[in-house]
């Protein structure tokens, strides 16, 4: 049977062989940056913007990448072309790029190969797990603000899409203590709303979409898409410091992230937001997005439940 | 030729095959905990204490490890017995355990194998890179306090020996901007001295060894060893909030960490500490440690320069 | 039928008539200080120490109390003598003193009576609700660290036993989201362990009882009792900054507060502490306390389950 | 003689009987939320907006109120209709709603009645004490920034109109140490300007009205009124972080709150603001407000001096 | 030979005699405020705005200055008229005003003269040291973010142009540890970008000039000039929280300060900003500024290299 | 008439000629470090310790002092020998050393002399102003905690005896707003007690002398003297975080500083400390100090009132 391909340090390899030696800095220190793109109708969406942000992240770690943006784009498209063909009907791909500084110097003696190695660069894909999001898509997600706080930019900037995200992992575990289906909404050190564990968070109040300021959240490509769609639909968008009170008092709320685009949020810390159902502006945005990519985003996800 | 062995998820594998799939949570999120032990005369030193701390870290991530402490100890000793035989003369091993929650759920569709997988657990060794430390051992390290700050316990606790350590990586890069041979000394968010990037930091002032409080540093096994040696030698030891001023005004300073035990620090931010040379108490501690393990720790490291 | 008595502004009144006008500063602003004592065998325990702390709190609010410590003690004992006679078998009393600055000036026109009024001072009792604590006493309490943080001394000092404790109320609600039987353990703004919502918190590690530093917690009379008992039993006691990690890694933990003395804590944020059962030092302390007051404290509480 | 009426837990009672049992959570913990409306010409002003904010506050405490917004409005108007008739000439009423979770569970045994009780809900009125504000209205208030800081949203959000306001009480006392007629201007934990003890604070600089950001202040209905009036008068309004320097360098400043609408501020920490007299924009706003409610707000207050 | 004149406490003195007694508060405590203006074609530029800010600073220290704004302006122009005549060809003057509270009371017995003295007020000039800036003007400055942080407004507000600037001195020393030609860019306590040691800092991103918010930086007259020039050129200008990431990801960056107007910044912490060369918007602003003052600002500075 | 002598940059000058050019970094930036010693019976007290701390401060500013400790000691003693002879009966001298990096580079063109200059070093004396302290010595000082906060070590460390002390100046002004005779007690950014404006602060509680921790206060030579005297008298001494509550609840309090040794503190923010009079331990310490220096310290100060 055919197997998906991945790209690792200049070579195409079967996906099952895409792995990192245990002495790689990405494994040892979580010193890695990454990017995630998805397909619509098996075509990569906004690849260019994702790659630009990737190169910004790469530069922040001072990684001297042996492959340029155009080549990365080519590899990415090539993998998608090959791997999408293996998808089941209605499937789409997520595409990951990541890079690390390469072997960790402290284990230098571990491997002769390592001595000569430069940075690690990998591209791989995975089928978007629509079924994971169907319940939240239908009824709205329940967000919990866990005690674990977002890492502040003074330590490493959340604007870098880095992989030292243990706090995301812990926050999600804490959220699930309250509700096994809950998602985490991380607060920053001052208790202000930051972002989900891998998603930007937005509320709607009085007809205006509101986002936490860009100071310590990922500058999300999906968030930028929401801003464009809002502008097109004549919906105001503003950035301001948000706190749990603002979320509780919001008319609507949603998470936005590359793999699922927009998931409605209907509860926070056990309390309903607005009337407790996905809101009107959420639906308008999702509809506009669906049109823009010529895919019914919601149906694609909900259909996965039936399979 | 014989190759070193590693342990990965229940199997013994050649070290060159010890690698993680790119969808492991340890690779994707840096969600991993680890431990590091070393040999003296090819025997593991304080393995028990390292394993206890390892299990504390494992519990903090709520990883349900399929292997107990005794079995881990057995595997560790077995690997050392095998791999130490491959060392060059005078060589010693570092031994690593690490564990992750296993495959990252977000990429779940990537691999059928992943669906069934539990946590990842790995044990491997590496030859201690003595030559890397020889210059610092001889003349003393130069510490720089970089702008990147230590992650506070509110995000994830430095007392967990976790692998989301991008801040260590960034701090070391910033230190090397000032001096390519410098080591980083991380400050916490309040500007107080925390620890090195993988080492506890201690100063000596008025005959007393002083450590930052245990609040947001690793509870180092080597630091505990220093405390025991100090008690044996009749040298006072106390914990208190330290700031850069205290380091600059110290009589001596040193870093302590499992692989190299004790490295003297003779400069901080370009200024000499004390008379700019490894100090008296440093030498007494190192001598006592050498006796305790029946290895001349300094000579072992310095000898590596000649090879 | 006989009714319990209360003391309110110089008068003895039936307890059901002990109430505050809605224009009292204690109602309008939560501007009130309080104290709580309990009986053992229907005799007040450590009344003197409670009254001293009460007068410290009174002074911090600059309330000019029209009644001295001795008179307050007399009133307190008088109420207990009267009200204890009404208790069911095996019952004990809690005794409350509280004071407010009196009528809120902003509503001054509301009442002619108010214009002339000075501070409000009230003493009342209530039967100790043993049944509420029985389950925790038997199996140990489950503590949750909620997102709501303790008010810092810069706003108003937790060392004042004040009644502006909305954060206690919110913290308990958040704790119950996770587990309806859970109790809240409040963290301070830096994420360090502070205290329970009305109780001091202590852990045991390596045979030593450890308390958060006195900086931003109530200087509990019960905590002082634990310190005395520990000294008598030869158990070491120290104060240091504690974090959630320390609680998770503790051997034992307990809450101490006037009404129930000592309740064991066996879980924190869903994880067992030690072996998940009330610990050895907990039992030694409780036994010593029971002896000191000639009441089997645990049995008295557990007996309430059967009634 | 006729007495004012109040509403308490479903009953109309004479105002002098509107009181809370000492075991109510509002008394014990300051766990209460409130709202304040006033009359102009004996008609309630912006009642709807106040009730909406009240229900937001109620929801934040998870109080399950047994009375809806319309019924609350009806009760409020009914009380005003009755009580306003008792006012002296030129008088106006303040109207208070407040709610608490009801009896404090810790004192549960105190009262059989309490066992069955739900939340406490009360509505009452008081004659606006115009004479208290006359001097400030005429010459301008003197603001002092006391050492006591505003409670941050991480503890409980100032956007909730809650009654745990001991910090307000302490701040006013500290302000009066400097000047017995001074009012307090609370700073937040970062030293930024927050709000008065029961009033929003605004400055004018270069023709623009400036407010601290809404992050940690009450979202005042009067502040919203100022914003509307400013828009109508063509005066720009903006929110930004303000510090004591900005207040000292302002052209004008004022406090805005429901009972007195707008009071000019002419000194801060002993220094004159602008030319030390109520400013031009202050007067324009007050005039517009007076027109909108068909009452000369300033004269109504100043007239009270003569009585 | 003719000597430059200075103004000191009401007298004109030769510049070499402009000195402060060692018991002046400005020397003892750094309790002093200052202002700096420069000439273009030997005429003072924006003197009025500088004097207004000076008087704001003076008021913040509660100094009762014995000389008014008009007289200060007259003295300033008089000194420039006299001293500019002594300049070499192509030279320009910097003009300093500074004031202190006068003699330090703690040393009161030191001098009979001091007992009677009021505040110290001084005006003096100095030739602008163009040669110091030529290299940065040509190639762009290299900025380093040192560990020393900007003093927060809670201590003393950076909006006051005060002389207690030891942090500026330390920050510049730390920057030069990394690169002897580097300039310091101070971060605030939260790690956000504040200002240079005597200059405002601006970046350009996506065609928009961005400044840190005015909260804790000097309200620079030169920054205000840039805002005016930008408005005239149709370039957008906005204030927002900036972090090191934003500087690294900027298209352009520059420092603006009275003596040199605008210096391009082409590197930060060792990394190039944009393409590592002075940018397009920088050049447009400098050209517009040059036109406005009828001096080729860049050439004037670069010419100094040749002399 | 004879005039006191001062030492300035290698020369002995009449005190009235000890002055700094306006382009000195000490004047321009407050970039200066200092030390203060006093005489008892016209002999310098603990000169050695003061000079050691001075050299620590000098090193922190990286000033390359052209004069060693012994020569500084010699100059200091020489000045005292000469100047003490000019004192009135019963007078004593304060002795100041201070150093700056020399001319400020930004004004480099101002003076040919400056171009060649190195650091500035000055030693001068002043008669101790006993009369200033007499009232506080007799009745106790009144301390006010002003809104201005102490500069944190992240900006510049208070352990350096530096002259950028504008916050001291502002704090004292704010204290005098409350009470013209009040002294300032600075809090740190967290609201914890730091130090007076030029003095260490100590309290007594339960027979123990307590000091704020050494983290962000000057390591006072007088405080060290108090520690020695306390040890000699068998009085316990400990360092712990103190807050305003602790000061209000203290039994005694005092300030300690070189010029006046020990001044009792009897009020804080308007409230009496203890019984509002200088305390027993204060008197024991002062008596022991007086014996140690063979001068009745209190009488010497009180006598100054009569003159």
Residue D173's region, left for phi above 0, alpha for psi from -120 to 50, else beta, is alpha
Q: Is the pLDDT of residue E26 over 60?
A: yes
Element (H, E) at E88: none
Q: Is the pLDDT of residue F96 over 90?
A: yes
Residue F184's region, left for phi above 0, alpha for psi from -120 to 50, else beta, is beta
On whether any CB of chain D is under 8 Å from the CB of C110, the answer is yes
Contact F271 C152 (CB under 8 A): no
Of B87, B62, B267, B96, nearest to B185 by C-alpha is: B267
* Size of chain D, expressed as the number of residues it contains: 307
Torsion angle of alpha carbons A127, A132, A133, A136, nearest 10°? 180
Task: Report pTM.
Answer: 0.94
Residues 6+ apart with CB under 8 A from A183: A136, A141, A142, A143, A144, A172, A175, A196, A197, A255
* D160: closest chain C residue by CA: C166
CA–CA separation, F223 and C99 (whole Å): 40
On whether any CB of chain D is under 8 Å from the CB of F178, the answer is yes
Instruction: Label residue D206 by pLDDT band (50, 70, 90).
Output: very high
Residues 6+ apart with CB under 8 A from B241: B192, B212, B213, F213, F215
Q: Chain B 249-288, CB below 8 Å of chain A: which residues?
A: 259
Q: Which stretches of E212-269 are assigned E, i.e. beta strand? A: 237-239, 252-257, 261-268
Q: pLDDT (tens digit, 9 = 90+) per residue, B81-97? A: 999 999 988 899 999 99
CA–CA separation, B197 and B167 (whole Å): 8
- Looking at residue E106, its pLDDT comes to 83
Alpha helices in chain C (DSSP H): 25-28, 47-60, 69-84, 112-116, 130-139, 166-178, 221-233, 244-248, 280-293, 297-306
Tokens representing E3 are 């000597």
Best interface-test mutation with F: which of C49, C215, C239 has the largest number of F CBs within 10 A? C215
Contact A190 D154 (CB under 8 A): yes
Q: pLDDT (tens digit, 9 = 90+) per residue, E191-235? A: 999 999 999 999 999 999 999 999 999 999 999 999 999 999 999
Contacts of E194 in chain F (CB under 8 A): none
- Looking at residue D305, its pLDDT comes to 78
**Contact at 8 Å (CB) between D61 and D33?**
yes
Q: Which residue has the tokens 């000032």?
A: B178
Q: pLDDT (tens digit, 9 = 90+) per residue, D31-90? A: 999 999 999 999 999 999 999 999 999 999 999 999 999 999 999 999 999 999 999 888
**Contact at 8 Å (CB) between B33 and B57?**
yes
Q: pLDDT (tens digit, 9 = 90+) per residue, B93-125? A: 999 999 999 999 888 666 655 556 799 999 999
Element (H, E) at E207: none
Contact E154 D240 (CB under 8 A): no
**Which residues make beta-bridge pairs with D14?**
D5
Q: What is the DSSP code string of C54-100?
A: HHHHHHHTT---SS-HHHHHHHHHHHHHHHHTTSPTT--EEEEEEEE
Structure-model confidence comparison of residues F107 and D301, the more confident one: D301
Which three-class secondary structure string do you get for A72-139? HHHHHHHHHHHHHCCCCCCCCEEEEEEEECCECHHHHHHCHHHHHCCCEEEEEEEECCHHHHHHHHHH
- Looking at residue F270, its pLDDT comes to 92
Quickly count: other Cβ atoms within 10 Å of residue C161's Cβ: 24
CA gyration radius, chain D = 20
Mean pLDDT over residues D10-31, rounded? 96
Of D101, D109, D98, nearest to D24 by C-alpha is: D101
- Looking at residue B276, its pLDDT comes to 96
Percent of chain D surpassing pLDDT 70: 96
Taking all residues of chain E, what is their mean pLDDT, rounded to a whole number?
A: 95
Chains contacting F (3+ CB pairs below 8 angstroms): B, C, D, E
CA–CA separation, A85 and A2 (whole Å): 10
On whether any CB of chain E is under 8 Å from the CB of F159, the answer is no
CA–CA separation, A98 and A120 (whole Å): 8
Q: pLDDT (tens digit, 9 = 90+) per residue, E166-182? A: 999 999 999 999 999 99
Q: Chain D 69-98, CB below 8 Å of chain C: which residues?
A: 94, 96, 98
Which three-class secondary structure string do you get for chain F? CCCCEEEECCEEEEHHHCEEECCEHHHHCCCCEEEEEEEECCEECCHHHHHHHHHHHHHHCCCCCCCCHHHHHHHHHHHHHHHHCCCCCCCCEEEEEEEECCECHHHHHHCHHHHHCCCEEEEEEEECCHHHHHHHHHHCEEEECCCCCCCCCCCCCCCCCECCCHHHHHHHHHHHHHCCCCEEEEECCCCCEEEECCEEEEEEECCEEEECCHHHCCCCHHHHHHHHHHHHHCCCEEECCCCHHHHHCCCEEEEEECCCEEEEEEEECCEECCCCCCCHHHHHHHHHHHHHHCCCHHHHHHHHHHC
Contact C157 F249 (CB under 8 A): no
Q: Is the pLDDT of residue E111 over 80?
A: no
On whether any CB of chain F is under 8 Å from the CB of B244, the answer is yes
Give chain C's residues under pLDDT 50: none
**Contact at 8 Å (CB) between B216 and C244?**
no
Q: Which residue has the tokens 């302002």?
A: D250
Residues 6+ apart with CB under 8 A from B89: none
Of A13, A164, A51, nearest to A100 by C-alpha is: A164
The lowest-confidence range among B177-191, E112-126, E274-288 is E112-126
Q: What is the DSSP code string of D91-157?
A: --EEEEEEEE--B-GGGGGG-HHHHH---EEEEEEEE--THHHHHHHHH-EEEE--SSPPPPTTTS-
Contact C244 B153 (CB under 8 A): yes
Distance from CA of A28 to the nearest CA of B (A): 6
Q: What are phi and psi of C48, to 5 degrees?
A: -55, -50
Q: Do chains A and F touch (3 or more CB pairs under 8 A)?
A: no
* B170: closest chain E residue by CA: E269
CA–CA separation, D175 and D255 (whole Å): 16
CA–CA separation, C169 and D26 (whole Å): 10
Of F3, F79, F90, nearest to F40 by C-alpha is: F90
Report the helix count and the strand count for chain C, using DSSP H and E.
10, 16
**Contact at 8 Å (CB) between F66 and F7?**
no
CA–CA separation, E94 and E222 (whole Å): 14
Dihedral sign for Cα atoms in the order A85, A86, A88, A94: negative
Tokens representing E18 are 């402009």
Distance from CA of D186 to the nearest CA of E (A): 13
Number of inter-chain CB pairs under 8 A, E vs F: 183
Of F290, F242, F286, F247, nearest to F263 by C-alpha is: F286
Bridging pattern class, strands E252-257 and E261-268: antiparallel
User: What is the value of ipTM here, to two decimals?
Assistant: 0.95
Instruction: Label residue F114 by pLDDT band (50, 70, 90).
Output: low
Is C306 exposed, middle or buried, given 0-12, 13-18 or 19+ CB atoms closer than 10 A?
exposed
Distance from CA of C72 to the nearest CA of A (A): 42
Dihedral sign for Cα atoms in the order B1, B7, B9, B15: negative
Instruction: Label residue F276 by pLDDT band (50, 70, 90).
Output: very high
Residue D252, SS3?
strand
Contacts of F192 in chain C (CB under 8 A): 215
Residue C64 C-beta-side C-alpha neighbours within 13 Å: 3
Query: Tens place of pLDDT for every residue, chain A, 307 residues?
Result: 589 999 999 999 999 999 999 999 999 999 999 999 999 999 999 999 999 999 999 999 999 999 999 999 999 999 999 999 999 888 999 999 999 999 998 886 666 555 567 999 999 999 999 999 999 999 999 999 999 999 999 999 999 999 999 999 999 999 999 999 999 999 999 999 999 999 999 999 999 999 999 999 999 999 999 999 999 999 999 999 999 999 999 999 999 999 999 999 999 999 999 999 999 999 999 999 999 999 999 999 999 877 6
Bridging pattern class, strands A33-40 and A43-44: antiparallel
Percent of chain F surpassing pLDDT 70: 96
Cα separations in angstroms, E237 against A10, C303, D220, E231, E254 = 44, 73, 31, 8, 14
Distance from CA of B215 to the nearest CA of C (A): 7
Quickly count: other Cβ atoms within 10 Å of residue F306's Cβ: 7
- Looking at residue F106, its pLDDT comes to 83
Mean pLDDT over residues D281-303, rounded? 97
* E62: closest chain D residue by CA: D271
Distance from CA of E236 to the nearest CA of F (A): 32
On whether any CB of chain C is under 8 Å from the CB of F9, the answer is no
Percent of chain F surpassing pLDDT 90: 93
DSSP for residue B125:
E
Mean pLDDT over residues D275-284, rounded? 97
Residues 6+ apart with CB under 8 A from D67: D10, D75, D121
- Looking at residue B304, its pLDDT comes to 85
CA–CA separation, B122 and B95 (whole Å): 11
**Contact at 8 Å (CB) between B9 and B120?**
yes
Residues 6+ apart with CB under 8 A from A241: A192, A212, A213, D213, D215
Residue E90's region, left for phi above 0, alpha for psi from -120 to 50, else beta, is left
Residue C118 C-beta-side C-alpha neighbours within 13 Å: 11
Taking all residues of chain B, what is their mean pLDDT, rounded to a whole number?
A: 95
Contact C159 F245 (CB under 8 A): yes
Q: What are phi and psi of F122, to 5 degrees?
A: -140, 145
* Size of chain C, expressed as the number of residues it contains: 307
Query: For the packed helices C280-293 and C221-233, what is the interaxial angle rounded to 10 degrees?
Result: 100
């Amino acid at each position: 049977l055919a197997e998906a391909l991945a790209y690792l340090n200049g070579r195409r390899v079967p996906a099952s062989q895409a792995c990192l030696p245990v002495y790689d800095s990405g494994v040892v220190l979580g010193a890695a940056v990454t990017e995630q793109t998805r397909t619509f109708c098996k075509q990569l969406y906004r690849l260019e913007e994702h790659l630009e942000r990737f190169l910004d992240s790469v530069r922040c770690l001072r990684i001297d990448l042996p492959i340029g943006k155009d080549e990365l784009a080519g590899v990415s498209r090539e993998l998608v072309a090959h791997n999408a063909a293996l998808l089941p009907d209605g499937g789409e791909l997520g595409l990951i790029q990541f890079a690390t500084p390469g072997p960790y110097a402290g284990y230098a003696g571990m491997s002769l190969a390592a001595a000569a190695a430069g940075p690690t660069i990998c591209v791989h894909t995975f089928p978007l797990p629509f079924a994971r999001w169907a319940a939240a898509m239908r009824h709205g997600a329940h967000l919990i603000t866990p005690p674990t706080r977002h890492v502040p930019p003074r330590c490493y900037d959340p604007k870098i899409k880095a992989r030292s995200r243990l706090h995301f992992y812990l926050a999600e575990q804490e959220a699930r203590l309250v509700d096994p289906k809950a998602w985490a909404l991380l607060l920053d050190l001052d208790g202000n709303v930051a972002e989900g564990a891998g998603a930007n968070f937005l509320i709607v109040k009085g007809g205006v979409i509101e986002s936490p300021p860009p100071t310590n959240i990922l500058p999300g490509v999906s968030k930028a898409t929401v801003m464009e769609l809002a502008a097109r639909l004549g919906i105001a968008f503003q950035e301001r410091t948000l706190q749990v009170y603002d979320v509780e008092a919001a008319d609507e709320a949603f998470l936005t992230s590359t793999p699922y685009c927009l998931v409605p949020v209907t509860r926070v810390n056990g309390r309903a937001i607005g009337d407790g159902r996905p809101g009107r502006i959420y639906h308008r945005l999702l509809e506009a997005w669906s049109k823009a990519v010529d895919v019914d985003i919601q149906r694609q996800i909900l259909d996965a439940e039936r399979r």
